[in-house]
């Protein structure tokens, strides 16, 4: 159970937060585990280690090679016997329901297609009949046209009513055929209800109160199955005192591309945010890091350009662009510029960890004009960054669509189906041992665009990136240049503020 390892790193005084960077002692234990893993697995997986007296415990996220239980690793948080008592049959039931839905959907689609063809054919034939009757009504009988309601005209009227009756009969038959179909939507609704009931029953088998912890929302899929909850629960069951924890990705990246082989990642807040504090009750642990609460000098952000309508300021690292959603973090560029210029607004945002130039509007009309310019891509921005590695090539364009990671906000992931288009141009400025300096020009403005495009498009994260790479003293990404046509004077405004690093 407990795996021994060698390290001369002193243990921390308090249990480090799983939502922050791992302690060096936990990193050493993780390196020891990495040395025992398959160096080239086919499937990528999150692994975790928990340092305890005498060594470390190990765990994996979800299942490993199709198994929940693997000798030597932390067991799942749920009661296997209680779960298997209903889930094996329940899973088979859901499969059968899904198959019935597929058959009903196929039959419905085939019927709709056939009925559309029949109606189209009937409509075309009736159109031809109508045209023929119109011609017939224009043909004279003797020295005059047929009188309405008599003779040939009566025959034509009867034919018209016959076409209308035929269409009515076809529509009625189609409606009867649809009523005879198995309702695929009703089957899907019933399956969804059954699935929710089974999921609720599954959550009841966990050793943590998932429904209560995530209330009033539903727990996300996979909640309780990550490595960190398994480790903390196992340590409690064994009566062991947790010392430090670390989680890392091992193997090929997932389809979203947001994990790198051998890299460490904090516990996700979406799935583990409510669970880990519950499991750490009574443990002397450091609080979870709250980014954006650092003390920033009162004279920040510095003004680089100002006139009667707008200003360009230089945001420091660690200052929010706008107040946090929770309301606990108010200090931000927006709050500070409004203290200088009442009514001012920020036209765009920079990440908390990113420094550099931001555009501020002093009135609503200027704000609207500058936002239109951004939407029409008439404002040019350039960033400079140090990449944490050697980059091949000299220049290029990255086009990878992005969306938020629903289980781990604010992280973004590449998604070619549901992601929004994102385009970045890049150019190498300098190369040094182990790092590359680049210029980055975003042609779209997605959240974390440059950070994700660096690690996914270039294969090298930005240095100091705590979300997508390796944390350091700061994120080495700086918005150094902005240029645009002034919305009121038409003058070309171009401001640069190179970083000091």
78, with CB counted inside 10 A (0-12, 13-18, 19+), is buried
Strand order in the sheet with 244-250: 55-60, 45-52, 244-250
> Which residues have C-beta within 8 Å of that of residue 463, sequence separation ≥ 6?
385, 386, 387, 388, 435, 469, 470, 472, 475, 476
Residue 361 has what pLDDT?
Answer: 98
Residue 152 has what pLDDT?
Answer: 77
Confidence of residue 150 (pLDDT cuts 50, 70, 90): low
Q: What average pLDDT score do residues 279-287 get?
A: 96
Q: What average pLDDT score do residues 304-327 get?
A: 92
Q: Is 200 helix (H, G, I), strand (E, B) or coil?
A: helix
> Which residues have C-beta within 8 Å of that of residue 432, sequence separation ≥ 6?
none
Window from 136-150, 198-212, 288-302, 379-393 with minimum mean pLDDT: 136-150
Window from 146-150, 189-193, 460-464 with minimum mean pLDDT: 146-150
Confidence of residue 236 (pLDDT cuts 50, 70, 90): very high
Rounded to an integer, what distance in angstroms lies between the CA atom of residue 336 and that of residue 340? 7
Rounded to an integer, what distance in angstroms lies between the CA atom of residue 285 and that of residue 17? 6
Q: What average pLDDT score do residues 443-469 get?
A: 94
Beta strands in 53-100 (DSSP E): 55-60
> Which residues have C-beta within 8 Å of that of residue 163, sequence separation ≥ 6?
126, 129, 130
Domain positions in the chain are: 24-78+206-279, 113-190, 302-496
Residue 196 has what pLDDT?
Answer: 92
Window from 22-26, 327-331, 346-350, 420-424 with minimum mean pLDDT: 327-331
- pLDDT at 145 exceeding the cut of 70: no
- Tell me 420's DSSP state: B
Inter-residue long-range contacts of 293-297, CB under 8 Å, 24+ positions, other chains counted:
293/329, 293/331, 294/318, 294/319, 296/331
Q: What average pLDDT score do residues 366-393 get?
A: 96
Give the Å distances, CA to CA, from 77 to 108, 232, 238, 279, 300. Answer: 42, 10, 14, 11, 48
Residue 289 has what pLDDT?
Answer: 86
**Whether 463 contacts 340, CB under 8 Å:** no
- pLDDT at 240 exceeding the cut of 80: yes
Residue 330 has what pLDDT?
Answer: 87
Pick the CATH number of 24-78+206-279 from 3.40.140, 1.10.490, 3.40.630, 1.10.3470: 3.40.140
Residue 208 has what pLDDT?
Answer: 96
Buried b (16+ CB within 10 A) or exposed e, 281-303: eeeebeebeeebeeebeeeebee
Residue 293 has what pLDDT?
Answer: 66
Comparing C-alpha atoms, which of 315, 313, 307, 363 is closest to residue 486? 307
**Whether 234 contacts 74, CB under 8 Å:** yes
Residue 77 has what pLDDT?
Answer: 96
- pLDDT at 343 exceeding the cut of 90: yes
- pLDDT at 257 exceeding the cut of 90: no
Q: What average pLDDT score do residues 285-301 get?
A: 86
Rounded to an integer, what distance in angstroms lies between the CA atom of residue 115 and that of residue 135? 30
Computed over every residue of the chain, the mean pLDDT equals 93
Rounded to an integer, what distance in angstroms lies between the CA atom of residue 227 and that of residue 245? 10
Tally of residues, the chain = 501
Comparing C-alpha atoms, which of 329, 324, 369 is closest to residue 349? 324
H runs (alpha helix) in 139-240: 151-180, 184-203, 210-214, 227-238
Q: What average pLDDT score do residues 488-500 get?
A: 97
Residue 484 has what pLDDT?
Answer: 98
Residue 469 has what pLDDT?
Answer: 87
Pick the CATH number of 302-496 from 3.30.360.10, 3.30.2350.10, 2.60.40.420, 3.40.50.300: 3.30.2350.10
> Which residues have C-beta within 8 Å of that of residue 212, sequence separation ≥ 6?
none
Residue 329 has what pLDDT?
Answer: 81
Residue 326 has what pLDDT?
Answer: 64
Residue 12 has what pLDDT?
Answer: 97
Kindly list the catalytic residues.
351
The label of the residue with tokens 């198959």 reads 99
Residue 155 has what pLDDT?
Answer: 87
Residue 325 has what pLDDT?
Answer: 75
- pLDDT at 105 exceeding the cut of 70: yes
**Whether 429 contacts 456, CB under 8 Å:** no
The dihedral region occupied by 143, where left means phi > 0, alpha psi between -120 and 50, and beta the remainder, is alpha
Comparing C-alpha atoms, which of 231, 235, 234, 233 is closest to residue 248? 231
- Tell me 250's DSSP state: E
Residue 149 has what pLDDT?
Answer: 57
Confidence of residue 253 (pLDDT cuts 50, 70, 90): confident
- pLDDT at 327 exceeding the cut of 70: no
Q: What average pLDDT score do residues 150-157 get?
A: 80
Residue 324 has what pLDDT?
Answer: 82
Residue 435 has what pLDDT?
Answer: 97
Q: Which residues pair with 56 in a beta bridge?
A: 3, 51
Q: What angle do CA 344, 349, 354 make, to 5 degrees?
A: 125
Residue 142 has what pLDDT?
Answer: 54
**Whether 479 contacts 489, CB under 8 Å:** no
**Whether 345 contacts 322, CB under 8 Å:** no
Residue 334 has what pLDDT?
Answer: 97
Q: Is 368 helix (H, G, I), strand (E, B) or coil?
A: helix
pLDDT tens-digit series, residues 345-376: 999 999 999 999 999 999 999 999 999 999 99
First to last CA, the chain: 47
Q: What average pLDDT score do residues 255-270 get?
A: 86
Q: What average pLDDT score do residues 157-165 get?
A: 92
Comparing C-alpha atoms, which of 57, 58, 56 is closest to residue 47? 58
Q: Are strands 477-485 and 355-361 parallel, antiparallel or unpaired?
A: parallel
Q: What average pLDDT score do residues 489-501 get?
A: 97
């Amino acid at each position: 159970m407990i795996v021994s390892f060698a390290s001369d790193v002193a243990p921390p005084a308090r249990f480090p937060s799983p939502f922050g960077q791992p302690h060096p002692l936990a990193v050493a234990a993780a390196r020891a585990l990495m040395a025992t893993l398959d160096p080239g697995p086919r499937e990528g997986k999150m692994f975790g280690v928990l340092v305890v007296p005498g060594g470390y415990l190990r765990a994996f996220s979800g299942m490993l090679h199709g198994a929940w239980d693997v000798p030597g690793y932390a067991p799942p948080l749920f009661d296997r016997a209680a779960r298997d008592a209903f889930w094996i049959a329940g899973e088979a039931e859901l499969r059968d329901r899904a198959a019935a839905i597929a058959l009903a959907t196929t039959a419905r689609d085939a019927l709709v297609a056939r009925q559309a063809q029949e109606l189209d054919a009937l409509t075309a034939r009736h159109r031809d009949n109508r045209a023929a009757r119109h011609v017939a009504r224009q043909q004279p009988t003797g020295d005059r046209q047929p009188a309405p309601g008599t003779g040939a005209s009566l025959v034509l009227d009867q034919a018209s009513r016959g076409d209308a009756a035929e269409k009515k009969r076809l529509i009625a038959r189609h409606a009867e055929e649809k009523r005879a179909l198995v309702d695929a939507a009703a089957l899907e609704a019933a399956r969804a209800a059954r699935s929710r009931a089974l999921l609720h029953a599954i959550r009841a088998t966990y050793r943590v109160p998932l429904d209560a912890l995530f209330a009033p929302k539903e727990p996300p899929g996979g909640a309780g199955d990550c490595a960190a909850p398994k480790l903390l629960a196992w340590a409690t069951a064994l009566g062991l005192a947790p010392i430090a924890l670390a989680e890392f990705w091992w193997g090929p990246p997932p389809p979203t591309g947001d994990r790198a082989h051998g890299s460490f990642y904090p516990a996700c807040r979406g799935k583990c945010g409510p669970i880990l504090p519950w499991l750490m009750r009574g443990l002397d642990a450091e609080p979870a890091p709250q980014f954006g609460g650092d003390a920033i000098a009162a004279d920040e952000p510095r003004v680089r350009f100002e006139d009667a309508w707008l200003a360009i300021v230089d945001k420091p690292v660690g200052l929010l662009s706008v107040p946090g959603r929770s309301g606990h973090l108010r200090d931000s560029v927006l709050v500070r510029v409004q203290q200088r210029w009442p009514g001012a607004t920020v036209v765009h945002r920079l990440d908390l960890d990113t420094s550099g130039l931001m555009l501020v509007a002093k009135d609503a009309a200027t704000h609207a004009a500058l936002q239109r310019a951004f939407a029409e891509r008439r404002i040019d921005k350039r960033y400079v960054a140090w990449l944490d590695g050697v980059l091949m090539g000299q220049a290029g364009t990255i086009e990878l669509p992005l969306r938020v990671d629903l289980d781990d906000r604010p992280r973004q992931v590449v998604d070619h189906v549901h992601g929004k288009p994102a385009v970045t141009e890049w150019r190498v400025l300098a190369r040094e041992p182990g790092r590359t300096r680049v210029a980055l020009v975003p042609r779209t403005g997605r959240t974390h665009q440059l950070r994700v495009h660096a690690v996914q498009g270039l294969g090298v994260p930005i240095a100091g990136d705590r979300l997508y790479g390796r944390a350091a003293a700061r994120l080495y990404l700086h918005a150094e240049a902005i240029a645009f046509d002034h919305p009121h004077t038409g003058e070309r405004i171009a401001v640069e503020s190179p970083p000091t690093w």
